[in-house]
Structures are given as C-alpha cells and as structure tokens.
Amino acid sequence: MSKIKPSQGSPYARILGVGGYRPTRVVPNEVILETIDSSDEWIRSRSGIATRHWASPQETVAAMSVEASGKALADAGVGPEQIGAVIVSTVSHFKQTPAVATEIAHRIGAVKPAAFDISAGCAGFGYGLTLAKGMVVEGSAQYVLVIGVERLSDLTDLEDRATAFLFGDGAGAVVVGPSDEPAIGPTVWGSEGDKSDTIKQTVPWDEYLGKSGGEKFPAITQEGQAVFRWAVFEMAKVAQQALDAAGITADDLDVFIPHQANMRIIDSMVKTLKLPEHVTVARDVETTGNTSAASIPLAMERLLATGAAKSGDTALVIGFGAGLVYAATVVTLP
C-alpha cells in the first residue's frame, strides 16, 4: 500500500478573472501594403483583418504580460502573493533560458511560485489552461496564472504576401482557481506531427547564427491552403468532441471563442458546427490580427468588456496551430 497521502486540492477549477493588453500602435492594412503587392480588399476578403497591434521596443513580452496579468488578478480578486504557479505560452520570447515566466512572476509580486514557459503555438492557451486546472485540482497550487503572449511582428516577413498581413502582438491572461462545480471541461487535445511543415520558422536559430550574414531574420511561414483545410474540417471535429466530452450540445452554448487565425476559418467552423443564432462568436481577429497564444484570452476579455458575453456564460474555446497542435474545452466565463 502506498504511503503517499492523497492530494488536497479543489474538486473542480474555474477561470476566475481575465485580462488583456494590446500594444498602443494600431497598424492598418495600408501599412502592410507598403511592402507587398496586394490590396486592402484582398486582405480583408482572405483574412477578415483590417488592423492589428504592433509592439514598441518597450512593449516586451514580459511587459505586456505584466499588464495583462495585473488586470486578470484584479478581475479575479486574487492577490499576486496567492499565485502558486505562472504558466506562459509564447513562441516569441527570444531567450532560450531563463523562462520569461520567472521574470513576470517577480514583476507582478508573486512569492516563489512555480514558473515555466510552454511552446504550443496557437493552442498554447488551451494547453496552459489544462495544466492549470490539473494543478488546482491536484493541490499543487491554489491559484494559477495562465498567460498567452506574443510579439509576432518580430517574426513576420513583411515581404511575404501570404503572411505579412496576418500577425499581431498582445498578451492575454487568466487566473485559474478552485470551484465547487465543474467550470472547465475535459480537454480534447493532440498533435499531427506529420503536418508540422505547414506552419514553421523559416530558418532554425542554429543555422541562422552559423551563417556569415546577409540572410533574412527567421520568420513564420505557412502553407495557407493546407492550414485552412485542416483548421476547417479537422478542428470542427475536435470542437464537437469537446462539446461531447463536456456533456453538452451546441444548443447549450452561449459563446464560441476559437483561435483568431482567420475570419474565413471562424465562419466556416460556425457553419460546420451548426451553431445556433443565439451563440455569440468571437471575431476579434478583425482588429487584433492573429496573436497566436494570446488570441483566445484577448478575445474573451473583449467579449466580456463589451457586454457581448457575460459572467457565467458557457463557452467553447479551441486553439490550433503550428505543430500541428490543438486543444479544445468548454469553460464557464469568469
């Protein structure tokens, strides 16, 4: 018989608060057209994007995360000293080590929390949320701060007609804590590594650093049509699996918050899932662009701030991207 005592966690976990930060600089499509042969009409028709936010040198990954985290903590009514773990999902923090989570934890005033980064692309928020739920239920942390943050403008090839208009910067954060009832459903997640080349960094860091100079800085590239087909057809199945795992149907939903990759993908998923008219759909991509791991919490924060969604609503969230990786779950909004 095991001598290890049972965990002393909460029976369930929930999102208690959400916060977001968008850089002050708003970049319209006209700026993107200075470096690619395209048009505002073409960009809007292909992606639904009209503007995006790009960070200044002062708006670092850590700085944006601190701002978003402060708002999430205030929204949750939780003090930084109560945070037992900080999880940061990002692909645009350029220090291999230490994890940016440790800097963020220190700057918000957390007291010796577990702190680490994860790299799961646009599904990173879902991965972090799942880890946080497990910590709260298992008892290793009472409150967990989950952050999705990107400065994708640093990894954008402004001469690449297929991707130059897609990406934006920003940070979104949530506080996950104990709950007396189920408020974060089972996560349906996974990866399809055979398709990993469809979204990737153009040049690995070691190859870039080993060259004599003159080469372009590494950027994100993708096979647009392949990604679109995968997202529309395969991710709709994953979204349905998440509904099934939570024991609800599309009729029970109040809100749908998919990764803000592309308006056409969002609209196609709504159609494939046959979501009822009453379901509020996040379309933050129009003014924020694709912010990868930050897109779901940023969209969630905007829906709640504008009154398009309300506390207690049942929401389906799904992230998907480079890897190819994905994560979907049903949550109760804070």
Report, as residue numbers or ranges, the catalytic residues.
122, 259, 290
Structure tokens given for 264: 């056409």
d(CA 205, CA 118): 18
Q: Using alpha carbons only, what angle is made at residue 39 by residues 300 and 268, rounded to the nearest 5 degrees?
A: 40
Backbone angles phi, psi at 160, to 5 degrees: -90, 110
Closest CA relative to residue 34, chosen from 127, 149, 161: 161
Q: Are 217 and 92 in contact (CB under 8 A)?
A: no
Beta bridge partners of 114: 85
Beta bridge partners of 27: 52
Coarse DSSP helix, strand, coil percentages of the chain, rounded to the nearest 5 percent: 40, 25, 35
Backbone angles phi, psi at 238, to 5 degrees: -65, -40
d(CA 258, CA 232): 11
Segments in the chain forming alpha helices (H): 29-32, 40-47, 61-76, 100-108, 124-138, 205-210, 224-229, 235-246, 263-273, 285-288, 295-306
Structure tokens given for 178: 């104990």
Parallel/antiparallel/unpaired status of strands 169-179 and 143-151: antiparallel
d(CA 222, CA 61): 23
d(CA 128, CA 145): 9
Q: Are 119 and 90 in contact (CB under 8 A)?
A: yes
Q: Are 13 and 133 in contact (CB under 8 A)?
A: yes
